[in-house]
Amino acid sequence: MPLAAVKPGKRVFIVGLAAGEGLRGRLAAMGLVPGTQVEVITNSARGPFIISVKGSRIVLGHGMAQKILVA
């Protein structure tokens, strides 16, 4: 399922990226690679999509979160 579908407070693991080479590089630079555990902090239709990764908070666009596949 895409990361964008995960409810706040849930922890999931990244299993894949449905993105091109450029976006994969940007996500990798933020530490968002397959096998990484992330926690969804905020996920609302309006406003930012915020996740916690390795003790850091990252703000993503909903389109970007849609391309990160999690389990």
The beta strand positions in the chain, using DSSP E, are 11-17, 37-43, 49-53, 56-60, 68-70
The model's pLDDT over 3-49, given as tens digits with 9 standing for 90+, comes to 999 999 999 999 999 999 999 999 999 999 999 999 999 998 888 89
Q: Cβ(20)–Cβ(64) under 8 Å? A: no
Q: How far apart are CA 27 and CA 61, in angstroms?
A: 12
pLDDT of residue 51: 98
Given a contact cutoff of 8 angstroms between Cβ atoms, the answer to whether 3 and 66 are in contact is yes
State the CATH number of the domain containing residue 31. 2.30.30.90
Q: How many CB atoms lie within 10 A of CB 20?
A: 9
What pLDDT sits at residue 30?
94
pTM (2 d.p.): 0.93
What would the two tokens of residue 58 be? 């990252």
Count structural domains, the chain.
1
Please tell me the distance from the alpha carbon of residue 58 to that of residue 21, in angstroms, as a whole number.
Answer: 20
What's the pLDDT score for residue 48? 87
Q: Residue 44 belongs to what domain range? A: 3-70
